[in-house]
Chain A
Amino acid sequence: MTKRGLYKLLALLFSFALIAAACGGGDDDTSAETGTETTEAAAPDDTEPPDDTAPDEVETEIAVDPDARVYGGTVTVGLEAEATGLRPWEDTCASPCMNMAITVFDKLFEIDSGFIPQPYLAESVTVNDDFTEYVVTLRSGVVFHNGVELTAQTIADMFPIQQAGAQSAGAVTSSNLADVQATGDLEVTYTLSMPNSAFLAFLTQAELGFVFEPGAAAADPDGFTFAPVGTGPFVIESRDLDNETVMVRNNDYWRTDADGMQLPYLDSIAFRPIPDEGTRLDSLLSGTVNAMQSLRQATIRDARGERDGGADITLLEFQGNNVGGGMFNVALPPFDDVRVRRGLVQLNNQEQVIEALGGTGISLPGTQWFSPDSPWWSQKVADAYPKFDFDAGVATLQEYVDDPARSDGKAVGEPIDVELSCPPDPTLIAGMAVIQQVWDASGLVNTTLTNFDQQTHIANALGAPPDFVGIHQAHCWRFSSDNDPSLDLNPALAPPSPAIAEAAGIPGVVSPINFSNWFDPEAFTAAVAAIRTDNFEERYALYETIGLRMAEEVPIWFSGHTATMIGVESNIKGVNGWILPSGELGGGFPGAEGRWAEVWVVPE
């Protein structure tokens, strides 16, 4: 019996024991002791800074599998949620959705193993000197699943749909995209309203990068979500919402592998949403599914345990820039005062939070927007980020608490009130409990924990027009991605309200998704400058400036980088090392998003 299995059996026996105990007499001392022990366990006497160098085992190296390719077979993939819609312009497409959508749609550009955009459905691109015009040449001979040929006009016809789409419209604005014209049979000209050296990164994303058949989309926008039409390696066969979506091989797919073999290798692929993490892993272990994704450290830990216990599975782990933590709403007192923010961050026992999240040995502690493996990571920023230091945190908070002019209007010496809110995920709740214990142990903070469903959690942070201040205080959040930094950072640093934009002399430049409401002119200026050059050194220096400003002002705090995993049965190959049409190695499986066109099954 594996350790995990043993835990389950013990859990059941424990339930029985609880019932027996409930029927018998009780001993009230236990809870008090437990409370003391827990507080002591969280008591901060270790002031060593967290080690954010990557242990070897936290990431699987991306490499092309040398085994011989085999045609045929079906792979069933367990996803953490259902893709509620498959309209790139309209529906939110997170990691589970991306696994499905990438089988139906191709992108104009795809990331390589260094996360640099490379042509995919596009064949080449030229850019003008000031990064306001991108001329993209498409590949010839590509057809959609409904037989319509891909031309430059297709891309131009997608644009009005994208401009009106709930998802794509935001990307159109963020990227500064003003116009898309067919300037040849296969030549598309993207015109931007302002320079953006990172525009191609938008063409690697679902919102602007996925190529869909605009005729089908316009004819039946609602129906398109159940019958999407792209140029991808698989064609949708059936869609049973919340149960199973089946895709079959696109026999007219335009791609071949490096040896000239027609892609895809699989006959079909099925996707099943299995929201419970334990059930999804059990499904892989029992063969109910052949592959699974997870974005939870605790599941990765359990999967490693099963693999080490002899389960015939391969785990493909990825540690990207996506980093967990939280943000302070700097528009509300007492978080408008940097002493409060800094003090609370100094009281964030990162290692214990990561342990509570199940990420010890899996998740790297975060100090900035980027992970240590990222080319954008900065040692200076890592050094500047406030480390866990209980005494220093207490001293910083004490300064605010003793200030007669403190912003929350409370009397001198009174503790500050903090509402710490997270979505109701068990591991997040455990992590919150650790933060609460340390904050409250300072004697200067009264922490209240709240949990809201994901949508309400986001809505609380978003707020309403005109100011979009939100009602959140200290708010769990995930930051960053493996995209170009500008995609996430620029909207997060722009003025959150018209009034702030006006005061900063940039009226009309407003970003409701600056959730922390922190606006720093120096950081924002650097963010804008970073999309006006494509020189890496210049851009690196600008993002380092932003990182240093964040470390000084601490509008957000970091726990650990989000480890993700795709687990597969050992005879499933090719998830690890897909290639670009140019023959270069692709970007692997960031965010547990697989590219299934080059996956094959070795017969048992």
Chain B
Amino acid sequence: MFQAVAIRIARLVATLFVVSLLTFMMTALLPGDPVNAILPPTAPRDQATIDRVRDELGLDDPLPIRYINWAADALRGDLGKSYVTNQTISDTIKDRVPVTAQLAFMAVFIAVIMAVPLGILGAYREGRWQDTSSSAAMQVMLSVPNFVTGIFLIWLFAVKLNWLPSANWSRISDGLVANLKTSILPATALATTQIAIFSRLVRSDMIATLKENYILSARAKGLKDRFILFRHALRPSSLSLVTIIGINFGALLGGTVIIETLFAIPGLGFRLINAISSRDFLAIQGITVFIAFVYVLINALVDILYLVIDPRIRKG
């Protein structure tokens, strides 16, 4: 057990190393001199000014040295300071993680409460109109990009019905109701693809479970269908769902980039887009590596959870 956990932690470290290296190299190798992005076009561009900025950022060091210096600082929690917002990257992440995390959690929550009944219904009515129509709907939800759903939700719930605000964010400290009003539409837009994935997973697992002998036995005992579905079939059919929720949670953090920009939500994704458009390379590196870190960490935790739950994997 200890060895298996150690192997997964080693993999996590290796993955983070590769991700951080690639992110660093990609931003470092972008065309053009970063100094041009840092200095406003109208700023003096004498060689002394340029040399000073290059020296401050260590841009004259060889790339490997720059990476080592940056990684060493990052390990100490110092991801540098944005020259655009004048904030440290660590503070930026600290301020924005709660927003993005809330959005991702809400999206997962909405997806689960929508997907599970739909999946169960599809399995219970396998091959009938309820199943085929819900499958078709899921296919559509899987195919329509989140931002298209977002635009539609804004138009319907903000402009036409005037029930909810179309943009920006109220923090929980401003009141839960205000917070929910600003978060429900983006979370729903983010959830639509997940609803489709989760419900198809529940449906297929549930179909397999419903063919198990103990389900037939329960039916033979005359138990009601609802009781069988929710008490006997749902739990064993949910293992894959729990796994995929874990894996997709990391992906959702990345998916918030577009939704946060569309809804003007001050999360990590919105900051990342702004950092890219202003070529704020320290912010790009820091936020990308952080998202990668969360993604890899969640996957590693899911792996380790497997080891705890399933002895066969542990022994394998």
Contacts and interface: CB of A to CB of B under 8 A. Distances in A.
12 contacts: A8-B152, A166-B39, A274-B168, A278-B151, A280-B167, A283-B158, A283-B168, A455-B278, A456-B30, A464-B36, A465-B46, A512-B45
Interface of A: 5, 8-9, 11-12, 15-16, 18-19, 22, 78, 81-82, 84-85, 92, 166-167, 169-171, 173-174, 207, 222, 225, 240-244, 272-276, 278-280, 282-283, 285-289, 452-456, 458-460, 462, 464-466, 468, 471, 491, 512-513
Contact of A513 (B41, B46, B139, B273): B41
B162 A282 contact: no
Given A279-B167, A280-B167, A460-B31, A242 B151 contact: no
B279 A453 contact: yes
B143 interface: yes
Interface stretch (B83-91, B104-112, B122-130): B83-91
Interface stretch (B56-64, B264-272, B301-309): B264-272
A462 B167 contact: no
B175 interface: no
A22 B143 CA distance: 10
Contact-residue bracket for chain B: 35 or more
Contacts of B31: 452, 456, 460, 471
A387 to B, nearest CB: 31
B40 interface: yes
A8 B151 CA distance: 8
Nearest to A287: B162
Nearest to A454: B277
A379 B61 CA distance: 55
Most buried by B among A171, A512, A513: A512
B45 A15 contact: no
B266 A241 contact: yes
B167 A272 contact: yes
A241 B95 CA distance: 10
Contact of A453 (B39, B84, B160, B277): B277
A468 B45 contact: yes
B32 interface: yes
A173 B46 CA distance: 12
B160 to A, nearest CB: 7
Most buried by B among A78, A222, A286: A286
Interface in B62-88: 84-87
Given A462-B36, A513-B41, A288 B165 contact: yes
Contact of B276 (A82, A170, A207, A453): A453
B261 interface: yes
A225 B45 contact: no
Contact of B42 (A170, A222, A454, A468): A170
A243 B169 contact: yes
B166 interface: yes
Contacts, number: 166
Contacts of A166: 39-40, 43
Given A170-B40, A464-B36, A272 B264 contact: yes
B86 A282 contact: no
Pairs A-B, 3 closest by C-beta atoms: A170-B42, A459-B36, A455-B279
B48 to A, nearest CB: 10
B67 to A, nearest CB: 21
Interface in B206-246: none
B47 A465 contact: yes
A478 to B, nearest CB: 12
Given A240-B266, A275-B261, A455-B277, A286 B166 contact: yes
Contact of B167 (A167, A174, A222, A283): A283
Contacts of B36: 455, 458-459, 462, 464
B144 interface: yes
A8 B155 contact: yes
Interface string B252-287: 000000000111111000110110111100000000
A290 to B, nearest CB: 12
Nearest to B161: A286
Contacts of A276: 261-262, 264
Contacts of B274: 81-82, 242
B159 interface: yes
A526 B85 CA distance: 40
B154 interface: yes
Given A241-B85, A276-B261, A15 B148 contact: yes
B174 to A, nearest CB: 10
B167 to A, nearest CB: 5
Contacts of B44: 169-170, 173
B275 to A, nearest CB: 10
A480 B168 CA distance: 33
Given A16-B144, A288-B167, A279 B159 contact: no
B264 A241 contact: no
A84 B84 contact: yes
A166 to B, nearest CB: 5
Contacts of A78: 167
A460 B168 contact: no
A466 B47 contact: yes
Interface in B165-217: 165-169, 171
B43 A170 contact: yes
A283 B46 contact: no
B55 interface: no
A462 B41 contact: yes
Given A244-B168, A272-B168, A464-B33, A11 B148 contact: yes
Given A282-B166, A453-B279, A465-B45, 5 more contacts: A12-B144, A84-B86, A278-B151, A288-B165, A465-B50
A169 B43 CA distance: 6
A15 B143 contact: yes
B33 A286 contact: no
B269 to A, nearest CB: 10
Given A286-B158, A287-B162, A459 B33 contact: yes
Contacts of B155: 5, 8-9, 282
Contact of B166 (A11, A82, A174, A279): A279
Contact of A167 (B40, B144, B261, B266): B40
A72 B4 CA distance: 66
B140 interface: yes
Nearest to B139: A19
Contacts of A456: 30-32, 37, 279
Contacts of B145: 15
Contacts of B167: 78, 272, 274, 279-280, 282-283, 288-289
Contact of A5 (B50, B140, B159): B159
A242 B158 contact: no
Nearest to B33: A464
Given A82-B274, A287-B162, A243 B148 contact: no
Contacts of B264: 242-243, 272-276, 279
A286 B151 contact: no
Contacts of A8: 151-152, 155
Given A274-B264, A456-B32, A286 B41 contact: no
B152 A12 contact: yes
